[in-house]
Each structure stands twice: as structure tokens, then as C-alpha cells.
Chain A
Amino acid sequence: MIKVLFFAHVKEKAGVYEASIDQNLMTVAQIRAYLKTTYEIGESDRVMIAVNEMYADDRREVRSGDVVAVIPPVSGG
């Protein structure tokens, strides 16, 4: 089980703040594809992906127990 967290506008778009994917191993690229199919979160949302609180590129492998965060463009400060 891979846990997924949503924030800000993608949280409102997904309609949930948390979800889980019933998989043991995925790449970040596969997670992006899953987000597109399931929540229509795609390129136009320009999200970054963090795995266990660190930004990750598309080749990064994600395993069961990891926490994935879907991070839209940030606007702190």
C-alpha cells in the first residue's frame, strides 16, 4: 500500500486529502499516470512529487509503506 497526500488546489480537485494505492512497487512516472487516470491531475497542474518528504524525479521507485505527496506549485513567503 502506497499512501498519497494531496495539497492546496490538487486536494480540492481530487476531492480527498489522502488516498492509498494498492501496489507494492511503482515508479514516480507510474504514479503520475495513476493521478491522471484517477483524479485528472496532469501536466497542466504542474505538480511535483515528493516521496517520504523529499522531492523525487520520475524514475524514483516507490514501495509499499512510502508516503507520496502531490505538490502543486508552491506559494509561501
Chain B
Amino acid sequence: MQNIVDREQKVNNFNLFRVTTEPLSMEQITKQVIHANNGAVLTFLGTVRELTHGRRTHYLEYEAYVAMAENSLRQIGEEIADRWPNTITAIHHRIGRLEISDIAVVIAVSTPHRADAYEANRYAIERIKQIVPIWKKEHWDDGSSWIGDQLGQIAYPTGKPEQGDCK
């Protein structure tokens, strides 16, 4: 079964991990991971939040190092397949200007059984916040700022994030 999943994933790899300026379709991305052998499908949406610690966001701007970001998303998919065998993962991230409640990221996973789906999906969003070269700039009524390191001042002793840094 692993081989079938691997083969299908290779065929679709380009579309499974994507950074785009276009609006994201939860339904299309979820359909990418549906597979006869996987009975659990879980989709996470990250949307643009208006209030952060009481401050009102007007809109967001996302920037990416697109080629590396897509490779990093693909790497996360591979890490997930190693940790939770037979999982199929699709991750799409939107960049450019996004308004409040727009979908910024869609993470869809399918697994044979449900427990792995929750764990794998959670792993994906935590890894995105560590390694994927995408940045958001928050625009408020009274200014703007690039947001960095939402995980809170993690030090990377080797100068780069390691897989073990993700709990």
C-alpha cells in the first residue's frame, strides 16, 4: 500500500505543495488527499485574524521565497509520511494581500485511521511556523510591521531549524 501512495504522491507532488497568490479552495485541496485506503481526512484552515492582543489588523501581506517555500512544504509532507506511514498530505499557502477572514493556508491530510490525522495535521502547521520561508506583514490603522518568530524566540544553535525542534 505504501508503494501505491508513494507513486500517486509523486505524480501529484507539484500540486500537493504550492505557494500561490490565488484564493485557496478548501474543497479542491481536501479532494487531493482522498484515497481509498485512508478513512480519515482532516483539513486545517489558517485565516486572517482581525484582533491580535487587542490590536486591530486592517489587512495582511504575505511574502515568500516561493521555490524554497514549496520545497519546504514538500519536505514537511515527507517528514509526515515517515512519522505516520501512508499519510497523504497537501499544503497550499496563499501570499500577497489578504483581507480579514481570507484563507492563508490549507493543510489537508488523509490517514488510514483518525488519530494519526490529528497528529499529522498539527505537526504540519507547527513545522510551517519553523521552517517555511514565508513572512507576514501586519497592517494596522496606525502602522505596519513584519511579524517574526511566532513560536517565541526559539534559538537555533546550529543556525537552522532541526526536525527535533518540533514537538
CA distance A34 to B156 in the complex (A): 20
A76 at the binding interface (Cβ < 8 Å): yes
Identity of the chain B residue whose Cβ is nearest the Cβ of A9 in the assembled complex: B146
Nearest residue (CB) in B for A69 is: B65
Contact: B67 with A7, CB < 8 Å? no
The interface bits of chain A over 40-66 (1 if a CB of B lies within 8 angstroms of the residue's CB, else 0) are 000000101110011111100000000
Binds A, one of B4-12, B23-31, B111-119, B125-133: B125-133
Contact present for A56 and B160 (CB under 8 Å): yes
- Contact status of A75 and B134, CB under 8 A, knowing A9-B148, A56-B160: yes
**Docked CA distance A9–B146 (Å):** 6
Cα(A16)–Cα(B62), bound, Å: 18
Q: Are B133 and A69 in contact (CB under 8 A)?
A: yes
Q: Is the pair B125, A7 in contact by a Cβ cutoff of 8 Å?
A: no
Q: How many A-B residue pairs have CB under 8 A?
A: 91
Q: What is the CA–CA distance of A69 and B134 in the complex, to the nearest angstrom?
A: 13
- A39 CB to closest chain B CB, in angstroms? 16
Residues of the B chain whose Cβ atoms lie less than 8 Å from the Cβ of A58: 159
B50-74 near A? 1/0 per residue, CB < 8 Å: 0000000000001111011101000
Report if B84 contacts A (CB, 8 A).
Answer: no
A54 CA / B65 CA spacing, docked (Å) = 12
**Which of B46, B148, B149, B160 sits near A77, CB closer than 8 Å?**
B46
Known: A7-B135, A69-B133. A76 touches B159 (CB 8 A): no
- On whether the beta carbons of B68 and A46 are closer than 8 Å, the reply is no
Does A33 sit within 8 A of B, measured CB to CB? no
B2 at the interface (CB under 8 A from A): no
Q: Is the CB of B160 within 8 A of A57?
A: yes
Closest Cβ of chain B to A12, distance in Å, is 8
| A5 lies within 8 A of B65 (CB) | yes
Instruction: Pull 9 A–B residue pairs with CB atoms less than 8 Å apart, ordered by A.
Output: A5-B65, A48-B160, A50-B133, A53-B68, A55-B159, A69-B65, A71-B65, A74-B132, A74-B148
Known: A8-B135, A9-B148, A55-B131. 19 other contacts (CB 8 A): A7-B65, A9-B146, A48-B156, A49-B160, A53-B65, A55-B159, A55-B160, A57-B160, A72-B135, A72-B148, A74-B132, A74-B135, A74-B148, A75-B147, A76-B62, A76-B135, A77-B93, A77-B128, A77-B129
